Structure 1
Amino acid sequence: MDRETRAFAERHFRDLGGRVHGGCGLAPSGVAFVQFPDGFSYADFVKGFLLPNLPCVFSSAFTEGWGSRRRWVTPAGKPDFEYLLKKYGDVVVPVANCEVQEYNSNPKELMPFRDYVSYWKEYIRGGCSSPRGCLYLKDWHLCRDSSVEDLEEVFTLPVYFSSDWLNEFWDTLDVDDYRFVYAGPKGTWSPFHADIFRSFSWSVNICGRKKWLFFPPGQEEALRDCHGNLPYDVTSSMILDAHLHPRLQPTTPPLEVIQEAGEMVFVPSGWHHQVHNLDDTISINHNWVNGFNLANMWHFLQQELQAVQREVSEWRDSMPDWHHHCQVIMKSCTGINFEEFYHFLKIIAEKRFLILKQGLEEAMGDSTGLELGLQQAAFDVGRLAEVLASVVAHPDFQIVDTSSFSSQPEELLRQLEDAIATTEVF
């Protein structure tokens, strides 16, 4: 990030005045296509897509050098099963059945990758049909389970997505990540959803084609049924039932994108979407959070806690430590609670303090590498301070027992404010 882009982004958030970033405004008429890597900088991405929270598609030229696009794919553009079996045959992978609805998702099972490839070949021979159902390899943590050297042969992280706090945090804990491989035959699909924690995501087709249906933030409300539930499948004819979906407006169709092989889709924060594989498809996907959507994540977590509290409100007066139990339930349902969110902020803040202390110089101009640099770190501490101030002031966080925390929230906030003062010279 350069100085001018940092100033532009900081002005944007000041103008928001605490409102949630990327809320529903005038819906775009289409999704922009970024053709050429040359001349399209990180600053261009920030101003054109991150700040306005708009989707875009990058051409296959952006992933032309990826090893997976050569090694995982046959000359005919199909998955190279023989190579993949040799490389990953014994790896155990999660597989979902697209023909079975479990709540608003699909049930999963674990199986060796070679067994899934055997099923996939059988599915193709059966004319895209199998008595075992329509199985989709989803959420395979290839990065977590691979060495750095092996990953260098698979993909190169685009600079536009290199400020990735979510995976930076989980890598520090060394327990999980939000980097996935999806692979499945024609007809596999992902139900209607918004990404975890209201993160951004990016998705690259190594081979195959996908159809994306995008709904800007807020438009999903018109899709709720008479019970207030969001749909499982927005292409179902049931969605047109006016009695079941009384709020549906025919004037708000989704934005449709056909993603070709090698192309990279950027999914903004809070955009609901549904994705269908039009061919045999393999994709690499990352979820990520940074200073541009941190407030969205915090807003989402507050909504999640409120939902939990509503569900168990009848026990509020009779259950000892009711607030603590709400946080436990939230952690179980959402994957993170207020305490862990604070630790997330703390770890990222400490890493930014180190960058500022070391006085890195390489990213004073537009970054062309993956390192953060001073201007990005300076922007980050500003976003961290704003969100942490809101966390510290939240009544439900004030109830959390922080006595065992290595750094007290108020002290961390003071350190962030001091760091902001030092960044004024950059």
Structure 2
Amino acid sequence: MEGNSRSPHATASGRRPEVAQGHLPLPVADGGSLTYEEFLVRYALARQPCFIKNVGAQWPATTNWRNIRYFLEHEGVDLEYEVEAAAGPPCESREVETTVGEALRRIEAGSGEPFYLSAWPYVRGNSGSLADDFVVPRYFERSPKWVSHNVVLGNAATDMKWLYIGSKGTGSPTHIDTNLSSAWLWLARGRKEWVCAHGDDYELLTEGIGSAAYGYKNESDSEEGETETLPDFFHPELYERWPKVSSARLYHGFQEEGMICFNPSRCVHAVRNVCDSISLTHNFLDATNVADAMFDACRSMNEEILPMSMEPGMKPKTFVKMLAKMMGISRKELSKTLSELPGLLCDENLSSLIDAAASGAEDEESKRKCAEILRRELEVRLREVKPAFVSAATTLRDKLGLV
């Protein structure tokens, strides 16, 4: 950016590296040789976004998912499941209520404006059999059930698994993933262009933007003068329109077929489909990002859930019933989850969390080393988050009479 030669993007000579848009190149790791320990240290715990190549070559999805017709004719796909799609380019798109089948046929026809079946929740949407076509890479989703099935933390096992199918010119504007989770996206067909920020620059980029900083949309945030907007990472005048971005580490790169893009927790990012594309995304929580998820859950309890429960005339049973309906679960299940929330970060649970993550390592010695790395990192990251979470969870439990 003009007038800021001390930008972190500059080289020793004061010039930016010769890469697209003046950003740093998005690192590329080789899944054929990347060890689990290297993944933890270099990327997941470091909050460093990256591409991972040489993953999934033997998956049925590598062949089957290249054609939209496969999904339209698959016996296990619920084509009548209602979804929201996006019509138009990313920053000007409008939401369209449709069905999976209608969206797929519209994209297959290839006529008219760009159309994106974005965030198709294929597991929640009765199409979970598509998971038979791939295997979750060993770097990701290594969590015990108390994390992956917890509705307060996003119920990642069911509700954070999506397919993205869209035409050329579609994409996702700058955003942060829900629950401050991490995500891996595998590209079956097409080519995607990414701009990703380093996860440690999260506060810099999200200051003053309201609930979007935590991966949520809130209509009240959009009222004029109340909040700023996230920077448009693809805007031709990015550094002029959003000067603070010049102090962030932005990475740029093109994702080719068969590659994974890994976005760690707190990673602000944006993506464009260079051509028609089909991709798979799973967001997840594990030992590498649970502290961030707990921070988000604590904020949500203090700023959203507790104030709602204290509204005039709101009775505890009525509130639990309303909240359960919003989450799509039974009142009994939600009551049990909320009553157990203060003890969620007990020593036993944290040990199981570390063991589950470390199981991705190649041998027993590597597992031991990974477990020790995770244990040390969690001790630091949970130092302030844990007591704040326990306090908020206890207040909520007591307020609702769930002791």
TM-score band (shorter)? 0.5 to 0.7
Residue 180 in structure 1 maps to residue 162 in structure 2: yes
Deviation of the 1:230 alpha carbon = 1.8
Residue 96 in structure 1 maps to residue 75 in structure 2: no
| Distance change (3 Å), C-alpha of 1:57 and 1:239 | closer
Q: Partner residue of 2:219?
A: none
Q: Partner residue of 1:155?
A: 134
User: Secondary structure at the residue paired with 1:84?
Assistant: helix
Residue 64 in structure 1 maps to residue 64 in structure 2: no
What is the distance in 1 between the residues matched to 2:97 and 2:45? 38
Residue 366 in structure 1 maps to residue 361 in structure 2: yes
What is the distance in 1 between the residues matched to 2:160 and 2:352? 24
Deviation of the 1:229 alpha carbon = 2.2
Deviation of the 1:273 alpha carbon = 1.1
Maintained 8 Å contact 1:352/1:380: no
- Residue 117 of structure 1: which of 104, 122, 138 is its match? 104
Maintained 8 Å contact 2:57/2:258: yes
Residue 196 in structure 1 maps to residue 196 in structure 2: no
Gaps of 5+ in 1: 1-25, 74-79, 409-426
Deviation of the 1:389 alpha carbon = 3.9
User: Secondary structure at the residue paired with 2:51?
Assistant: strand
Give runs of aligned pairs for residues 319-330 of structure 1, distance below 5 A: 319=312
Maintained 8 Å contact 1:223/1:239: no
Q: Partner residue of 2:95?
A: 107
Deviation of the 1:178 alpha carbon = 1.0
Give runs of aligned pairs for residues 396-415 of structure 1, distance below 5 A: 397-401=394-398
Give runs of aligned pairs for residues 166-177 of structure 1, distance below 5 A: 166-169=147-150, 176-177=158-159
Aligned length: 350
Gaps of 5+ in 2: 1-7, 10-22, 210-223
Residue 52 in structure 1 maps to residue 52 in structure 2: no
What is the distance in 1 between the residues matched to 2:359 and 2:286? 19
Per the normalisation by structure 2, the TM-score is 0.67
Maintained 8 Å contact 1:184/1:281: yes
- Residue 393 of structure 1: which of 368, 373, 391 is its match? 391
Q: Partner residue of 1:81?
A: 68
Per the normalisation by structure 1, the TM-score is 0.64
Matched AA of 1:197: N
Deviation of the 1:201 alpha carbon = 0.6
What is the distance in 1 between the residues matched to 2:351 and 2:230? 45
User: Secondary structure at the residue paired with 1:62?
Assistant: coil
Give runs of aligned pairs for residues 225-304 of structure 1, distance below 5 A: 227-231=226-230, 233-236=232-235, 248-250=244-246, 252=248, 254-304=250-300
Matched AA of 1:99: G
Matched AA of 2:70: Y
- Residue 218 of structure 1: which of 203, 225, 243 is its match? 203
Q: Partner residue of 1:42?
A: 36
Deviation of the 1:58 alpha carbon = 0.4
Matched AA of 2:187: N
Residue 138 in structure 1 maps to residue 118 in structure 2: yes
User: Secondary structure at the residue paired with 1:109?
Assistant: strand
Deviation of the 1:383 alpha carbon = 4.8
Matched AA of 1:366: A
What is the distance in 2 between the residues matched to 1:81 and 1:257? 26
Matched AA of 1:265: C
Q: Partner residue of 1:21?
A: none
Percent of aligned pairs with the same residue? 18
Maintained 8 Å contact 1:190/1:276: yes
What is the distance in 2 between the residues matched to 1:85 and 1:55? 33
Could you give the per-residue CA deviations for residues 279-326 of structure 1, whole angstroms, max 9, x where no partner exists?
11111101111122111112223334555499x79x98x836699999
User: Secondary structure at the residue paired with 1:206?
Assistant: strand
Could you give the per-residue CA deviations for residues 61-95 of structure 1, whole angstroms, max 9, x where no partner exists?
1111111011122xxxxxx2333322166523524
What is the distance in 2 between the residues matched to 1:344 and 1:287? 22
Q: Partner residue of 1:6?
A: none
What is the distance in 2 between the residues matched to 1:98 and 1:277? 14
What is the distance in 2 between the residues matched to 1:86 and 1:121? 13
Matched AA of 2:135: T
